Amino acid sequence: MADDFDVIVVGAGMAGSSAAIRLAQGGANVLLLERGAEAGSKNLSGGILWGHDLDRILPEWWHEMPVERHIVRKRFGFLSTDSAVSFDFDDATWRREPYVAHSVLRARTDAWLAKKAEEAGATVVTSVPVDRLNWEGSRVHGIVQGGETMTAPVTILADGANSRLALGTPIRPQPRLDPAATELGIKEVYQLDPGRIEERFQLGPGEGHAEEWVAGQFVPGVMGGGFLYTNADTISVGLILNIQSLFGRGVYSQELIEQFRLHPTIAARLKGAELVEYGAKLISSGWASRPAAFHGDGWMVVGDAAGFVFSNGIVIQGMNYAIRSGLEAAETALGSKKAKDSSASRLEEYHRRLESTGILSDFRDFESMDRVKWNSRFYTVYPRFATALFHALLTETGARKQPIRKIVRAAQKTAGLRTTTLLKDGASLARDL
């Protein structure tokens, strides 16, 4: 019996919709299924979109896509209890088209992308939570939803970090995500007049500012980073927290984001802004969170479902990998349709494409970064050290000036940072980054 579709894509996030657009453009009969009432209604990102991969399917997409602002400046820093040390990166090329990055709100961008998939010829159906993959032995032959089976020679899993369809199957044999390789993202959106945003962050019309903070000072042992991004008439703020470090601390994520928001540096940026939205989502990031395989007989896994989120405390990037992996899966599926072969050996092309486009190497090569990233001193001791150091260097009190060597020692003492530990962490940084 003939299959219902050439390809079924589960999940209309950045990965699924990009794949569906490319598939439809390439002449495939594609079904894109989304559990939310609208694409994007269940999605959450910080979010800064490094979207140049979209050029492949939607040239000059940023003119039409409902993006918020193009980013012209990034700030990275450390927060201690009541001070902050940060570095700014300002680049004139970021102010010119084609812009390098945009702030986005996923409810808007994902609905637009799904519409583009429909316009390209894909069948897009929302409010459809797929129950499971249709396994025939070791082969996936479409999906099952509400007792009904829909078949296709190729199914692309783009259902996000906590992929229910993969867990407990040969794709991810374990029943749940590994907390050591999973982070919790929480985000709040605050409304503020666009003019006040531009004045407060020294931006021109349409320009955006992004900042990321190492923020572990709130509860000892809890490791996390904070972000603040300007949108058109809102500001997104949030935290990305290491889940394992939250266990047994007796603290709720809601309390942590409140402390982040009330930090004097962050509170000054949010002054007069009104909370309009709140959300939380799991992030499965890095090489340790990869599935057992990225493809098999009749299936490929893309985006967050494949663990393609790069997060190192300074940046979090997942949407770019979602789009790129979605496009590579789509190219592979188009080749498989032409060859009338959807076996694992034919879909091996997807794995080769993940290698040749640098996706796998980005994660594999930076695996050792987790040792740096999940060093708890990075979140408490070093922010205290940096702020104590700069406080002493930059504050004039009338007291006799001290040589820098003494100032560094005093800051180490305040932060509880021994010289041997500093040297050990420095060596590990040089080795692992």
200-229 residues in contact with ligand FAD (CB under 6 A) are: none
Binding ligand FAD (rule: CB under 6 A), the pick from 23, 130, 150, 222 is 130
Residue 284 and residue 100: Cα distance in Å, rounded? 25
By beta-carbon proximity to ligand FAD, the closer residue of 6 and 68 is 68
Structure tokens belonging to residue 115: 């519409």
Identify the residue among 192, 309, 330, 359 touching ligand FAD (CB under 6 A).
309
**Residue 189 touches ligand FAD, criterion: CB under 6 A:** no
Nearest to ligand FAD of 293, 410 (CB atom): 293
Q: Is 320 in the site for ligand FAD (CB under 6 A)?
A: yes
Residues 34-63, mask of contacts with ligand FAD (x by CB under 6 A): xxx-----xxxxxxx---------------
Among 122-130, 215-223, 386-394, 423-431, which window interacts with ligand FAD (CB under 6 A)? 122-130
- The CA-based angle 26-120-118, given to 5 degrees, is 130
- Collapsed DSSP state (helix, strand, coil) of residue 89: strand
Asked if residue 285 lies in contact with residue 311, where contact means CB atoms within 8 angstroms, the answer is yes
By the rule CB under 6 A, 13 interacts with ligand FAD: yes
Name 32's bridge partners: 9, 124
Residues 230-249 that bind ligand FAD (CB under 6 A): 238, 240
Q: Name the one range near ligand FAD by CB under 6 A: 11-19, 20-28, 189-197, 418-426.
A: 11-19
> Which one, 216 or 238, has the nearer CB to ligand FAD?
238
Closest CA to 157 of 304, 287, 288: 304
267, with CB counted inside 10 A (0-12, 13-18, 19+), is exposed
288: phi then psi, degrees, rounded to nearest 5: -65, -20
With CB under 6 A as the contact rule, the residue among 16, 153, 224, 286 that binds ligand FAD is 16
The answer to the question of residue 164 lying near ligand FAD (CB under 6 A) is: yes
Q: According to CB under 6 A, which one of 6, 53, 68, 159 is a site residue for ligand FAD?
A: 159
Rank residues 139 and 164 by Cβ distance to ligand FAD and give the closer one: 164
* Binding of residue 303 to ligand FAD (CB under 6 A): yes
| DSSP 8-state assignment for residue 92 | G
Indicate whether 291 belongs to the interface with ligand FAD (CB under 6 A). no
Q: Give yes or no for residue 101 binding ligand FAD (CB under 6 A).
A: no
Which residues contact residue 325 at a Cβ distance below 8 angstroms, ignoring those fewer than 6 apart? 15, 302, 303, 306, 308, 354, 359
Stretch that binds ligand FAD, among 56-64, 124-132, 353-361, 375-383 (CB under 6 A): 124-132
Selected from 154, 158, 257, 386, the binder of ligand FAD by CB under 6 A is 158
Quote the tokens at residue 90: 């300002």
Whether 9 and 31 have beta carbons less than 8 Å apart is answered as yes
What is the rounded radius of gyration, in angstroms, for the C-alpha atoms of the chain?
A: 23
Closer residue to ligand FAD in complex, CB, 24/48: 48
**Of 11 and 26, CB closest to ligand FAD:** 11
Among residues 79 and 240, whose Cβ is nearest to ligand FAD? 240
12 lies in the binding site for ligand FAD (CB under 6 A): yes
Candidates 131, 256, 250; CA nearest to 183 is 256
**Nearer CB in complex with ligand FAD: 143/386:** 143
CA separation for the pair 149, 134 (Å, rounded): 7
Q: How far apart are CA 412 and CA 407, in angstroms?
A: 9
**129 lies in the binding site for ligand FAD (CB under 6 A):** yes
**Cβ(387)–Cβ(85) below 8 Å:** yes
Mode of pairing for the β-strands spanning 295-296 and 299-301 = antiparallel
- Our finding on whether 113 is near ligand FAD (CB under 6 A) is no
411 binds ligand FAD (CB under 6 A): no
Which residue is it, tokens 């406080």? 391
Q: How many residues bind ligand FAD (CB under 6 A)?
A: 41
318 binds ligand FAD (CB under 6 A): yes
Stretch that binds ligand FAD, among 92-100, 152-160, 262-270, 343-351 (CB under 6 A): 152-160
**Burial class of residue 52, CB neighbours in 10 A (0-12, 13-18, 19+):** middle
β-strands 69-79, 207-214: how paired? parallel
Structure tokens at 290: 């990869």
Q: Which positions touch ligand FAD (CB under 6 A)?
A: 10-16, 33-36, 42-48, 128-130, 158-160, 164-165, 185, 187, 238, 240, 281, 283, 303-304, 309, 316-320, 322
